[in-house]
Structure 1
């Protein structure tokens, strides 16, 4: 069945007048009448009763009018959605993000996407760097925000945020009232880190800071998540180096002190698996790279 004939039929059914319907469609009345006859042949029943002064829908015509309108409405919706998906304005993106990206970077990305692609659905999972790399290669997420540095044979990365490191201390620590600290001030302190297995590049980079400063490697404790890390620091079991955007989950038992300038920095990279064929993913990558200039 040709969609054109359904459109012709709906025009006649709406006007109940062949001449006016033909004028609105921009075709000859004879051609319109012929197409309606062919549609009736396909249906196997008369759809309209005709006289010199009157056109009316038959019971079969009334049923077809309802369903034909639904078909064309659904088709129009499908075409609009297809065009939006092709342009990256509609679709679904599965985003992985490390916990530190959740406080500033992810909200900023979502605000920009809501402005430029309001019909794009973003599903967020908080995952470690290692878990994101695996999820990307297994196609369980489309894009990741992970802690740099990352080296992977197939995954591409680009820096989207760089920020200074700060020191997280127990609130009652003797250095908690200091304005700024140096890495040397942390000599003898136990350093609480996220597990190396979850972010090996960032873990090694943190310890390398002490070596570059001429300090011995600190004693370390690995905490599996931010909640555990804050609890261990609050209990006086160690200190941590965290990005400036670090949130202590509202805890008043820890305090954050800046490092003396120039403070060492840490970066968040956006990661994806090439080639980028999905327009929605291209939109996310483009938006993320515009959020924060690389410094």
Structure 2
């Protein structure tokens, strides 16, 4: 049996790199040593620094010597009277502080991400979102979770789920009722609804009407696939076989208002439209026997992530805190 001589465990590629001019192996420095050096550099006193880092002075002195050997430069000048930073030490102190700060932030970011409190939240909403509560909820959420980026997207009236059904959003401001599977909701408040009719309509001179008063006219429809949602806004519960809805498709609230003004249809809409989007040529009427539309937070029932849970918590806390505002919104006048 022939004997084998010891060989360099590094491969040829590594040996070639070591032979290159100016090449140095990466320095592997324990972060604890960096912290200890910063303590000495800031205290300029080994005894005080040792007490600060809870280490024996002799052990601290040994760690600083090891660090200087690893760096390849003298970092501190030591005399019996004082400790000072060398020019190399001053430069190294700046880098050490930066490195420790970056590591601390990376660790904090990792912990936040592990808790689901970092990243992006895709927030969908139907026209109007959560009305006056919207900015309050968003401001509160951003203050609590500044590392979460909220990407907002408005969806047309044809998508009553505001992107939840297609998976385009993580959470959404939606209007109920909702007939789409696998979506959970939490009601924030109930928004009064009104009838919008042309100014020339035979009901235009009245203050209020019943749902049955309205079922003889064509009615606007967002062309949604959600039957429960469509049935509510088209007054289906007040209809029978002889008064089935004649639907006039719309793509937006403004288009709806223009169609009503032109006499092409009537509409059931939020009372907020009457107060914030006045339209010439239409009149708004209270509907005595028709409930309001609940505005809610919606999310995927099988994918409630920590960040979605936090958004829901913020929305509910704002709703509960702003009880007077909610009461005002729920009792918004339905006649002018």
**Deviation at 1:41?**
2.4
- The structure having more radius of gyration, on CA atoms, is 2
Give the distance between the partners of 2:104 and 2:160, measured in 1 at CA: 38
Matches within 5 A, 1:97-108: 97-108=125-136
Q: Quick check: 4-13 or 67-76, which moved more?
A: 67-76
Q: Quick check: 2-11 or 144-153, which moved more?
A: 144-153
Cα 1:67–1:124 change in 2 (3 A) is: same
Q: Secondary structure at the match of 1:101?
A: coil
**Deviation at 1:281?**
1.4
What whole-Å deviation, never above 9, does each CA across 1:199-235 have from its counterpart, x for those lacking one?
Answer: 44311333422326x8612322111111211111122
Structure 1 residue 223 and structure 2 residue 250: aligned?
A: yes
Q: Larger RCO: Structure 1 or Structure 2 (Cα < 8 Å, ≥ 6 residues apart)?
A: 1
Give the distance between the partners of 1:188 and 1:211, measured in 2 at CA: 9
Cα 1:108–1:55 change in 2 (3 A) is: closer
Matches within 5 A, 1:1-295: 1-82=29-110, 91-113=119-141, 117=145, 120-128=148-156, 131=159, 135-136=163-164, 139-197=167-225, 199-207=226-234, 208-211=236-239, 216-246=243-273, 249-260=277-288, 262-276=289-303, 278-289=305-316, 291=319
What whole-Å deviation, never above 9, does each CA across 1:13-46 have from its counterpart, x for those lacking one?
Answer: 1222222222332322111111111212222222
Cross-structure match for 2:9: none
Cα 1:15–1:286 change in 2 (3 A) is: closer
Contact 2:156 2:251 in 1 (8 A): no
Provide structure 1 residue ranges, at least 5 long, that are not aligned to the other structure: none
**Deviation at 1:187?**
4.3
Give the distance between the partners of 1:119 and 1:256, measured in 2 at CA: 44
Q: Secondary structure at the match of 2:174?
A: strand
Give the distance between the partners of 1:131 and 1:179, measured in 2 at CA: 32
Give the distance between the partners of 2:186 and 2:109, measured in 1 at CA: 30
Provide structure 2 residue ranges, at least 5 long, that are not aligned to the other structure: 1-28, 324-329, 331-336
Q: Secondary structure at the match of 2:190?
A: strand
What whole-Å deviation, never above 9, does each CA across 1:166-203 have from its counterpart, x for those lacking one?
Answer: 10123454433422111232243221121234x44311
Count the aligned residue pairs: 291
**Deviation at 1:117?**
4.7
Give the distance between the partners of 2:139 and 2:43, measured in 1 at CA: 47
Contact 1:164 1:263 in 2 (8 A): no
Give the distance between the partners of 1:93 and 1:145, measured in 2 at CA: 13
What's the TM-score once normalised by structure 2's chain length?
0.73
**Deviation at 1:131?**
4.6
Q: Quick check: 1-10 or 157-166, which moved more?
A: 157-166
**Deviation at 1:65?**
0.7
Structure 1 vs Structure 2 CA RMSD: 3.2
